[in-house]
Amino acid sequence: MSPDGQKILGYLNDVAAERAAQATDASLAGKVRAVKAYQHARFAATYADLLADRRYGPAANFFLNDLYGPHDFAERDGQFARIVPALVRLFPADIVRTVAALAELHALSEQLDGEMARTIDGERLDERTYRQAWQLVGRPADRERQIQLMLDVGMALDRFTQKPLLRHSLRLMRGPAAAAGLGALQRFLENGFDTFREMRGAAGFLDTIAQRERRLAAELFGHGDADHSNA
């Protein structure tokens, strides 16, 4: 299997390990759901202007629900792990690399959410308890990596819109992808491709995401106005 395929499997194994820990602790699982729900609401509030914008609204919704959603993807991930060889065989290398970034983002987010959940009491979060949990977990380099991966997936989708043949290839792969158990991934890629194509250039959108997420991280870690100009 290709290095990217091995990476994807490794990230999915990391997710499975975190999920296994939660499966044996109902209290922890509830806290993780609370963390995810709070972060989903926080993202919606932070980007209310983008969500309401005619041009950027669909992409903001895509980020909110497909990249930042509070959904439980345990069943999907279990199926996904079994069909990684088919993914590597069927999809173009550019898409496989993007899926690897998406898998890394998923694994890192699950780990950080789990660590945050372990610092809180009960399943109710507010701004103060969220800030405290964030600071107790720390790992600022991993927070920056999380932001960068989210941006990387967005930039890849934007690049794909400049390759009309790739969109045509995606359409042709619907049947084989469904037969190989890759239907959910196929829909994600097509939805992302079409959403970013309709935006007609994602630079302004992604710059806004980068600035606001990094500003929030700097504030929560107490670093003030951090300089991410070379990130």
pLDDT per residue as tens digits for the range 170-214: 777 777 767 666 677 777 778 888 898 889 899 999 999 999 999
Q: Within a domain: residue 227?
A: no
Torsion over CA: 220, 221, 223, 226 (sign): negative
How far, in Å, are 98, 108, 203, 205, 213 from residue 208 at the CA level? 21, 22, 9, 5, 8
- Is 150 among the domain residues? yes
Residue 16 lies in a domain: yes
Query: 51-60, 71-80, 93-102, 202-211: which has the minimum mean pLDDT?
Result: 71-80
Write out the residue range of the structural domain in which residue 90 sits: 3-221
Q: What's the predicted TM-score (pTM) here?
A: 0.84
In a domain, 201, yes or no: yes
**pLDDT at residue 19 in the model:** 84
Instruction: Report the C-alpha gap between 149 and 35 in whole angstroms.
Output: 20
In a domain, 194, yes or no: yes
Provide the H-helix boundaries in the chain: 3-23, 26-46, 48-51, 57-62, 74-82, 84-90, 93-117, 127-137, 140-160, 164-172, 174-179, 183-199, 203-221
d(CA 133, CA 30) in angstroms, rounded, equals: 15
Q: List pLDDT tens digits, range 83-130.
A: 788 778 877 888 888 888 988 998 999 999 999 999 998 878 888 999
**Token pair of 28 as six digits:** 């922890």
| pLDDT above 60: residue 72 | no
| Rounded distance between C-alpha atoms, residue 134 and residue 216, angstroms | 11
Count of domains in the chain? 1
Answer whether 210's CB lies under 8 Å from 228's CB.
yes
Report the pLDDT value the prediction gives residue 227, as an integer from 0 to 100. Answer: 42
Distances (CA, A) of 38 to 85, 113, 133, 225: 35, 11, 12, 24
Instruction: Look at residue 67 and tell me whether its pLDDT is greater than 80.
Output: no
What is the distance, to the nearest Å, from the Cα of residue 79 to the centroid of all Cα atoms in its chain? 18
Residue 152 neighbours by CB under 8 Å, 6+ apart: 98, 101
Within a domain: 228: no
Q: What is the mean pLDDT of the chain?
A: 84
Q: Is residue 132 part of a domain?
A: yes
For residues 27 and 172, give the distance between their C-alpha atoms in angstroms, rounded to a whole number: 45
Q: Is residue 231 part of a domain?
A: no
